[in-house]
Homo-oligomer: A and B are copies of this chain.
Amino acid sequence: MIKQYEIKLPVLGRGFHLIDHIIRGEIKDLPQSGLVNIFLQHTSAALALNENADPTVRMDFESFVSRMIPDDPSLFKHTLEGPDDMPAHLKSSLFGQSVTIPVTNGRLKTGTWQGIYLCEFRDHPQSRKITVSVLS
């Protein structure tokens, strides 16, 4: 059985953001045993799992990744949508646009430190849409 949820995230600025509370708030009736796929319908943002405690981890994600893939138009042909656009596409596919998480005993079976990140790569983002599929 597959149950789906559409979630519209609030606009979050460029950077890495914990969105666990939003996702968990929308999908309350989890099965005893299952699998959840969270899918982002965009090409300049990403989803990831990582450390959910220290906010400097998320700052380091933004600064390191933007150093590795810089907003430097001299590196790209696709520059019409701004210097942050092509780097955003690259980061989006490297991090990936979906995460899949097991469900056990009615709860997402993430590790103690695993939080769900929205990785926003645009300087002036709009609201992002997510589809959650719950398999049981």
Binding site for B on A (CB under 8 A): 2, 4, 33-35, 37, 39-43, 48-51, 54, 56-57, 59-61, 63-65, 67-69, 75-78, 86, 89-90, 92-102, 104, 109-114, 117, 129, 131, 133, 135-136
Contact = CB atoms under 8 A, between A and B. Distances in A.
Helix, strand, loop or mixed for chain A's interface? mixed
Contacts of A96: 96
A42 B114 contact: yes
Contacts of A76: 56, 60, 64
Contact of A68 (B68, B97, B101): B68
Which 8 interchain pairs have the tightest Cβ spacing?
A41-B111, A56-B77, A48-B93, A56-B78, A102-B131, A60-B76, A57-B78, A102-B133
30 contacts: A35-B133, A41-B111, A41-B112, A42-B113, A42-B114, A43-B51, A43-B111, A43-B113, A43-B114, A49-B93, A51-B89, A56-B78, A57-B78, A59-B77, A60-B76, A60-B77, A60-B78, A60-B86, A60-B90, A63-B75, A64-B86, A65-B90, A67-B75, A68-B68, A68-B69, A93-B117, A94-B94, A97-B99, A97-B114, A100-B100
